Structure 1
Amino acid sequence: MGHGRQGGAAVTAPTPVLARPADARRPDPVTDRFVRDCLVPGSALRTAVRDASYPPAFADCWGGRMLQRPLFAPESQVMGFAADLDAFVTLLESVPDRLFDGDLARYCDHLGIEAERASVLRRFAVGPLTRYGRADVYHDGTGFRLLEINMASNLGGTDRSEMQRALEDVPAFRAFARENGLGHVHTGERLRAALAAVRPAHLGGDTPRGAVICGRGGLEKYGHLLRGFTEMMERLGLRFELGELDDVHERGGRVLLRGAPVDVALRFFNVDDVFWDRRSRARAELLFRAHEEERLLLWSPINGSLFSNKGALALLSDPDLRSTLTASEAAVVDRVLPETFLLTPGSVPYCREHRAGLILKPLRDFGGRGIVAGWRLDDREWRAVLEESPERHYVVQRRVVPAAEQVVCPDSGRAEDWHAVWGMFFTPDGYAGTDVRAAPAAHSAVINYGANPHVRTGCVFTYA
């Protein structure tokens, strides 16, 4: 094992050894049966994704960017990882207590979170964390491995369960699903249940009036995604209007979005949006105060971002924290997380030596921005990146090579290897379904819609 320096203490850095060839395929009998059927000329299963009928807003957004088959996995494997993930989040929540004596200000300072933003993130950290988020994972051929975790309500992918629902109406796929005992968890249904469990006290038996609230300019950026979400939730019995912080007002103790009362506000803004300008801060404060006074449910409170910061994952590899873990807790971390550590001057020499097995990720950026894959650079380029990177602005993570997924083109009938990120959702009730984003193996260094035009969206079915 290599060693670096982090905050003055020695840390164990990852040994970037790839346990399997980069083109190995994930072993899965249901996948094999599906692909074999798709390779038969005239197969109706091959065109099932294209033949399915999707809700209008979903089709408008994703019609040209759908992966041409679902992914399949044993239910026991998915639920086993989900159980590990639940235990992992519990450990993540415990980091401030274990390393910083419960002092969240010190914790935020260590992760490079500026003091004013940290004060907003700490505001709601007075009770249990709202367990709502998405873990992005690779399957390496033997099991799932965590890339990053997002604990917030401003998540993409919640509407992908509409793909499973649509596929089950295609006769060829319905027959395949019946023969193979396929099932799935619908993320929208789990979210609806979670919201029902924490509804504002003033509502009684009334149906809550919902709003999805973005930061300034958010509807222009994300409106096409959010319309698919609101379409799904309306089908499930909850109506959400779309708006931005600028559209939020208050009258007579009620929170209003463009004049209409709001009972449940699904937060699709982050801490940077709060500090866009004085007006945004005031409107966010209106929502925060209404939530604290139980006049409105803000889903979810913004303190989840304390643990979405990628540096929080690095702290789970800190030797001071590892010394506090039980054997079973350490085993959970080792099963879930590739070795991850902060980039500091002390860890740079190790990173130089092991370029091909490491990836750099900015602590706070999302959407694939700023990620640097060492294996895609030469030594000179990699050295320049390391030297230019400010201390603690990046985490370094051991490369996880995803197992390939064969996908048959509906038109050519040819099979091609793809790599997939599995997005596993969770609510306070536990596992809440999985979405997929995937790219052809030759174009899969960063698998993100905004950063990679080759990426397609998909869904997951499980079997016993």
Structure 2
Amino acid sequence: MSLTDDYLAAAAERGPKAGAILSAAAPKLDATTYLGRCLSRPTFLEAETYRRLSADLDLLYSALTRLPERLFGGDLAEFARTVGMTETQVGAITRGRGPAPSRMGRADMYRDENGFHLLEINLGSTVGGVDNPVLNAAMLEHPFIADFVAANDLTHAETMTEVVRTILTEAKVPTGVRPVMAIADFPDSYPDLERQLHKSAEMLAPLGIDALPCPVDALEYRDDRIWLGDRAIDVVFRLFMIEDVLKPGAVELLEPVLQASERGHVAIFTPLDAELYGSKGALALLSDEAYRDRYPADELAALDRILPWTRMVRSGKVTVDGEQVDLREYALANREELVLKPTALHGGEGVLLGWQTDAEAWAARLDEAMDNPWVLQRRIRPVPEVFPTDDGTEQWLLTWGAFLVAGGLGGFLIRGSQELDGGVVNMATGATATCCFHQV
């Protein structure tokens, strides 16, 4: 019996109604990642499963962040071009790079009978959901859930706390200093996030950071400092994404922050080079058999467990299960087992699921993507999980988001969908999320 099986059996016998859990938790989730809604129970991970996932994600991070040195002789710009960045983006990345790759990120995964498999990994400060412990806390207010967690020696990471530690470490904030941090997004997207960002800023205050949400064009560079009004800024928390750099006037908009960063007058969390390692093009390089001799045995074993077959959409031959085949022919013949994804967009934008697309549309989109910054990835078939309802149970397909932080694995954002054949799952398009407790 798994922890989940034990919980479901206990809930059916003596647990609270699902509706009671939901109605009590929902008011605490307003203006959070959860958008005022959640699933009817937490998820659970046994100690060995958690340990293996944590180790595999560490090895994945190591393999990703060493790609420039292992494949490109340390040339970050060439790595950026190879994974599909434009010259404008390459320029911003090389100017805004950090002294070392950031540890901040979130790996989004499906889980089947054999374990976790990566859909994508987003590295950098743009990952959402770091306010997720608010739901762990809400769930623990139910005596039934609190008793189950205690009886099984379960815990959860305080993701926001771990993110603060990561910021202070990577921005090199001296011990004992309370930094002032601007949470900066592009002017066109800032208004939609403003309310949530102010709530996040309130959560950061007791953790030792004065956080000030703002559009990035509100920041000024003068007197060797970045300023927001009359407040000198120590850290710029970057919410804008690499695709934002392509907007008209974007480079000019970012120039004050990039200049200040280059001169050591402000720290950017996270630097723009983080976007490279989170590119789906980087996953295609990791997946390519041609480079297997570049990785140590432990990294290869982790990649084989967690990373599905992924390739850049390039004309010509490609290796599939040890055989050389024409990529276009393979993709057309195996449409229902493949996903087509842009290399550097976020939030599921542009993703095409072969099994939900007719052959003609698939062929057309494949040809548009050919020799452009797109990847093909093999379909993962996750096993749905069971959640209580007031009068029975129902199945949800879960996307497991595992946070990477300076200290290792820093908690989970888990989104659910009732489209059990898979699909793009995010909160903005109607997903419903939950939290996770794991065994010590």
Would the TM-score normalized by the shorter structure come out above 0.5? yes
2:135 maps to 163
Name the aligned partner's letter for residue 105 of structure 1: A
Q: What 5-or-longer segments of structure 1 have no aligned partner?
A: 1-27
Pairwise mapping of residues 281-292 of structure 1 onto structure 2 (< 5 A)? 281-292=251-262
Assess if the C-alpha contact under 8 Å between 2:8 and 2:388 holds in 1: yes
Asked if 1:316 corresponds to 2:286, the answer is: yes
TM superposition shift of 1:348: 0.9
TM superposition shift of 1:275: 4.6
Asked if 1:391 corresponds to 2:363, the answer is: no
| CA offset digits 1:159-202 (Å, max 9, x no partner) | 0111112222222221221122221111111112222334556x
Instruction: Tell me how far apart the structure 1 counterparts of residues 179 and 396 of structure 2 sit (CA, whole Å).
Output: 42
Q: Of 12, 16, 24, which aligns to 1:51?
A: 24
2:189 maps to 218
Name the aligned partner's letter for residue 371 of structure 1: V
Name the aligned partner's letter for residue 69 of structure 2: D
TM superposition shift of 1:121: 1.1
TM superposition shift of 1:45: 6.6
Q: Judging changes above 3 Å, is the alpha-carbon distance between structure 1 residues 224 and 401 closer, same or farther for their aligned structure 2 residues?
A: farther
2:41 match: secondary structure: coil
Instruction: Tell me how far apart the structure 2 counterparts of residues 439 and 126 of structure 1 sit (CA, whole Å).
Output: 37
TM superposition shift of 1:233: 1.6
Instruction: Tell me how far apart the structure 1 counterparts of residues 102 and 35 of structure 2 sit (CA, whole Å).
Output: 33
Q: Of 218, 232, 238, which aligns to 1:261?
A: 232
Q: Judging changes above 3 Å, is the alpha-carbon distance between structure 1 residues 283 and 371 closer, same or farther for their aligned structure 2 residues?
A: closer
Name the aligned partner's letter for residue 234 of structure 2: D
1:429 maps to 407
Instruction: Tell me how far apart the structure 1 counterparts of residues 225 and 359 of structure 2 sit (CA, whole Å).
Output: 59
TM superposition shift of 1:102: 2.5
2:340 maps to 360
Q: Judging changes above 3 Å, is the alpha-carbon distance between structure 1 residues 309 and 42 closer, same or farther for their aligned structure 2 residues?
A: closer
2:45 maps to 73
Asked if 1:251 corresponds to 2:222, the answer is: yes
TM superposition shift of 1:55: 4.7
TM superposition shift of 1:312: 0.8
2:102 match: secondary structure: coil
2:134 match: secondary structure: helix
| CA offset digits 1:58-87 (Å, max 9, x no partner) | 46x635431221111113312321211111
TM superposition shift of 1:204: 6.5
Name the aligned partner's letter for residue 247 of structure 1: A
Q: Judging changes above 3 Å, is the alpha-carbon distance between structure 1 residues 197 and 64 closer, same or farther for their aligned structure 2 residues?
A: closer
1:445 match: secondary structure: coil
Instruction: Tell me how far apart the structure 1 counterparts of residues 307 and 313 of structure 2 sit (CA, whole Å).
Output: 17
Instruction: Tell me how far apart the structure 1 counterparts of residues 434 and 358 of structure 2 sit (CA, whole Å).
Output: 33
1:13 maps to none
Deviates more, 1:212-221 or 1:107-116: 107-116
Asked if 1:341 corresponds to 2:319, the answer is: no
Instruction: Tell me how far apart the structure 1 counterparts of residues 307 and 314 of structure 2 sit (CA, whole Å).
Output: 20
Assess if the C-alpha contact under 8 Å between 1:249 and 1:256 holds in 2: yes
| Identity score, percent | 29
2:433 maps to 457
Asked if 1:271 corresponds to 2:251, the answer is: no
Q: Of 91, 97, 113, which aligns to 1:119?
A: 91
Name the aligned partner's letter for residue 335 of structure 2: R
| CA offset digits 1:322-367 (Å, max 9, x no partner) | 1323333321211120111112233110011111211111111211
Q: What 5-or-longer segments of structure 2 have no aligned partner?
A: 317-326
TM superposition shift of 1:141: 2.4
| CA offset digits 1:6-49 (Å, max 9, x no partner) | xxxxxxxxxxxxxxxxxxxxxx6221122233334872576334
1:159 match: secondary structure: coil
Q: Of 434, 438, 445, which aligns to 2:423?
A: 445
Q: Judging changes above 3 Å, is the alpha-carbon distance between structure 1 residues 38 and 366 closer, same or farther for their aligned structure 2 residues?
A: same
1:294 maps to 264
Instruction: Tell me how far apart the structure 1 counterparts of residues 421 and 284 of structure 2 sit (CA, whole Å).
Output: 27
2:427 match: secondary structure: coil
Pairwise mapping of residues 103-182 of structure 1 onto structure 2 (< 5 A)? 103-125=75-97, 127-182=99-154
Q: Judging changes above 3 Å, is the alpha-carbon distance between structure 1 residues 32 and 441 closer, same or farther for their aligned structure 2 residues?
A: farther
Instruction: Tell me how far apart the structure 1 counterparts of residues 246 and 419 of structure 2 sit (CA, whole Å).
Output: 39
2:11 maps to 38
1:382 maps to 362
Instruction: Tell me how far apart the structure 2 counterparts of residues 33 and 342 of structure 1 sit (CA, whole Å).
Output: 43
Assess if the C-alpha contact under 8 Å between 1:359 and 1:397 holds in 2: yes
Name the aligned partner's letter for residue 389 of structure 1: A
1:83 match: secondary structure: helix
Instruction: Tell me how far apart the structure 2 counterparts of residues 204 and 97 of structure 1 sit (CA, whole Å).
Output: 32
Name the aligned partner's letter for residue 131 of structure 2: D
Instruction: Tell me how far apart the structure 2 counterparts of residues 56 and 261 of structure 1 sit (CA, whole Å).
Output: 32
Name the aligned partner's letter for residue 372 of structure 1: L
Assess if the C-alpha contact under 8 Å between 2:311 and 2:376 holds in 1: yes
Instruction: Tell me how far apart the structure 1 counterparts of residues 170 and 179 of structure 2 sit (CA, whole Å).
Output: 11
TM-score normalized with structure 2 length: 0.90
Assess if the C-alpha contact under 8 Å between 2:15 and 2:144 holds in 1: no
Instruction: Tell me how far apart the structure 2 counterparts of residues 36 and 168 of structure 1 sit (CA, whole Å).
Output: 19
TM superposition shift of 1:439: 0.7
Instruction: Tell me how far apart the structure 2 counterparts of residues 336 and 370 of structure 1 sit (CA, whole Å).
Output: 23
Name the aligned partner's letter for residue 417 of structure 1: Q
Instruction: Tell me how far apart the structure 2 counterparts of residues 157 and 358 of structure 1 sit (CA, whole Å).
Output: 28
2:384 maps to 404
Instruction: Tell me how far apart the structure 2 counterparts of residues 333 and 226 of structure 1 sit (CA, whole Å).
Output: 35
Assess if the C-alpha contact under 8 Å between 1:135 and 1:424 holds in 2: yes
Assess if the C-alpha contact under 8 Å between 1:209 and 1:238 holds in 2: yes
1:243 match: secondary structure: strand
Q: Judging changes above 3 Å, is the alpha-carbon distance between structure 1 residues 62 and 100 closer, same or farther for their aligned structure 2 residues?
A: closer
Instruction: Tell me how far apart the structure 1 counterparts of residues 306 and 29 of structure 2 sit (CA, whole Å).
Output: 37
1:395 match: secondary structure: strand
Q: Judging changes above 3 Å, is the alpha-carbon distance between structure 1 residues 428 and 56 closer, same or farther for their aligned structure 2 residues?
A: closer
Name the aligned partner's letter for residue 363 of structure 1: T
TM-score normalized with structure 1 length: 0.86
TM superposition shift of 1:440: 1.1
Please give the root-mean-square deviation of Cα atoms over the aligned residues, in Å: 2.4
1:18 maps to none
